[in-house]
Chain A
Amino acid sequence: MVIERIEAQLPGAVLERHAFRGDETITVAGTSFLAVVDFLFGEGFQMLLDVTAVDLETPEYRFEVVYHLLNLASQARMRIKVPVADGAAQPSLTGRFKSADWSEREVFDLFGIPFEGHPNLTRLLMWEDFPGHPLRKDFPLDGGDIFCSNDIGASYSPEARSLNA
């Protein structure tokens, strides 16, 4: 129902939707993302539980930033996915939700997706001069040779080891 209201209010904003196993999910274009979040906030989705991303390795939009919202009044959940190209910035939600602070820093740290408007966008879990972004699919599981190289942003060999190989 909420999704229908979004579609009525902001036509064309919802690119795709599914409810696999009961999880309401919408894919939203980056341009209408903030409007959709504002609308959902007004509808009662006032808790931002989590921000994360998925590296899809598709040529056009490499990443998908994934937001999980909770409506405390109706106990409904909503997942918003926003396709983001490699290097493109995603608008920050820190003005709307305080919990976006560390969540967005973590996504920036582990995926290298910058968040526009974040007041303190620095690395969170990895150290300051850590080369690369570990949760990208092209980052090798064993971390490459980070302890031998100071070359920030070094590319890694694709034939790096994996646990089950």
Chain B
Amino acid sequence: MEPTTQSTRPDGDRMIVNMGPSHPVTHGTLHIVLELEGEIIVKATPNIGYLHRGVEKLGENLTYQQFIPLTDRLNYCSSLMNNVGYTLAVEKLLGIQDPPRSRVLRVLCSELARIGDHLVCIGINAVDIGAFTAFLYLFRERETIYDLFEMMAGQRLHSSFTRIGGLFRDIPPEFEPLCEQFLDSCPRTVDEMEALLTHNPIWADRTKGVGAITPENAISWGYTGPCLRAAGVAQDLRKAQPYLDYETYEFDIPVGTTGDVYDRYLVRTEEIRQSLRIVRQCLDRLKQIGPGPVIIEDYKIALPPKEKVYTRMESLIHHFKLIMHGIDMPVGEVYGATEAANGELGFYLVSHGGKSPYRIHVRPPCYPIFNSFDEQVRGRIIADAVSVLGGMNVIAGELDR
């Protein structure tokens, strides 16, 4: 949207508008101080930290296993992906690999979470701009995803599904029929959403050219994920630095050209389709692999099954040692990165041995992206700030930690 009037008022005559901390378009508690000249934003100062819980400090005082529920609360729209990212980092530190069935299930739940996250991002972005219908279409699919998560992990939002060395449990038999049903209905919903938005002139007016960024700038700001790909950089860790055997799956990486909100929307839409392809391949692989263990059988790392704990002395001792003393970690430091829905989610772990990490640091993907907010909206109107904020998919939980 082009600004309608150009203000010529002097510098001291700016209007200060507080967007947030409690505002419908700030998903989570964000505070942005906008300095306006007429309708035009002269300066935007994001003021973050309202959701700071000291996750890193807590992590230093918890065992590696106990930290998993805290990762749920980072990006609460796709908590399963955080679980997977964190356990992969710890497994890198330990130098172990989880069983094949668990690897396929991790890919499956990551991709479902990615679809869910993108659906929420596009739906909320649309509803902020005024397109309420698309939001309702998308949230029906998100409900199915949450039903699938509930079957897997027993919880809808805060899944805590993974364990160090594998998964908490296998998927139940009723998972597959519902997932098939989802694979059938989701593409249709995405088509319907595209029919509502992609060629909609109002949507295009509000998003095209808004928040445009050059690839060089995006790299300097530390953009990752859909926002970087929308700017034309084909960087996806699933292809570039494959983990969980992603190199054996068939999928493509969509890339935009201008990096504006419209391109971010198109990239996310295509990523949903590509993730559905991966989910399809995962279901086929699960049938191929057949039933098997979903957690490693090294009882110094993973808890032994309950039947054994109740019947065998050795397993009882392992159980006791793991709960009371935790895993005996090697001394060292690792940085484990995965491609989360928003971009590169990194966990930097420093171990000095013992049951708790000496230092645990989370690199949230939306943090550097939101850092560039001022540059993205400067010189534009307030309405553009709303669509830029939605296109960035800022999740306060992972932003503030």
Contact = CB atoms under 8 A, between A and B. Distances in A.
A and B pair up: yes
Interface of A: 20-21, 23, 25, 46-50, 52, 54-55, 66, 68, 72, 75, 77, 79, 97-99, 101-103, 110, 124-127, 134-135, 139, 141, 162-164
A81 to B, nearest CB: 9
Given A21-B334, A23-B334, A68-B346, 5 more contacts: A47-B222, A49-B224, A66-B361, A110-B56, A125-B49
A72 B235 contact: yes
B335 to A, nearest CB: 6
B273 interface: no
Nearest to A139: B57
B221 A23 contact: no
B358 interface: yes
B352 to A, nearest CB: 9
B334 A163 contact: no
Contact of B57 (A50, A102, A134): A134
Contact of B62 (A55, A75, A163): A163
B62 A79 contact: no
A25 B348 CA distance: 13
6 contacts: A50-B363, A52-B348, A77-B335, A101-B371, A102-B367, A163-B62
A98 B222 contact: yes
Interface string B49-66: 100101011100111000
Contacts of A102: 367-368, 371
A135 B57 contact: yes
A68 to B, nearest CB: 6
A50 B363 CA distance: 7
Interface in B325-384: 332-335, 337, 344, 346, 348, 350, 356, 358-359, 361, 363, 367-368, 371-372
A50 B49 contact: no
A125 B399 CA distance: 10
Contacts of A54: 350, 358-359
The 8 closest A-B pairs by CB, nearest first: A99-B222, A125-B49, A20-B332, A163-B61, A50-B363, A98-B220, A99-B368, A125-B52
A126 B52 contact: yes
A79 B335 contact: yes
Given A52-B348, A102-B367, A134 B54 contact: yes
Contacts, number: 94
Contacts of B224: 49
A72 B233 contact: yes
Contact of B95 (A21, A46, A50, A101): A21
Contacts of B333: 20, 23, 25, 79
B61 A164 contact: yes
Contacts of A99: 220-222, 368, 371
B289 interface: no
A126 B224 CA distance: 26
A111 to B, nearest CB: 11
Contacts of A49: 222, 224, 337, 344, 346, 363
A75 B334 contact: no
B168 to A, nearest CB: 22
B179 interface: no
Contacts of A135: 56-57
A130 to B, nearest CB: 10
Nearest to B52: A125
Contact of B241 (A25, A75, A103, A127): A75
A111 B350 CA distance: 16
A125 B371 contact: no
B255 interface: no
B42 interface: no
A125 B400 contact: yes
A110 to B, nearest CB: 8
A21 B61 CA distance: 24
A36 B52 CA distance: 33
Nearest to A81: B333
Interface in B217-266: 217, 219-222, 224, 233, 235, 240-241
B346 A124 contact: no
A52 B348 CA distance: 9
Most buried by B among A49, A103, A124, A164: A49
Given A20-B333, A72-B235, A101-B371, A141 B222 contact: no
B105 interface: no
A163 B221 contact: no
A99 B363 CA distance: 12
Nearest to A126: B49
A17 B358 CA distance: 20
A136 B43 CA distance: 33
B208 interface: no
Contact of A47 (B57, B219, B335, B348): B219
A124 B358 contact: no
A37 B95 CA distance: 30
A91 to B, nearest CB: 18
Nearest to B240: A75
Contacts of B222: 47-49, 97-99
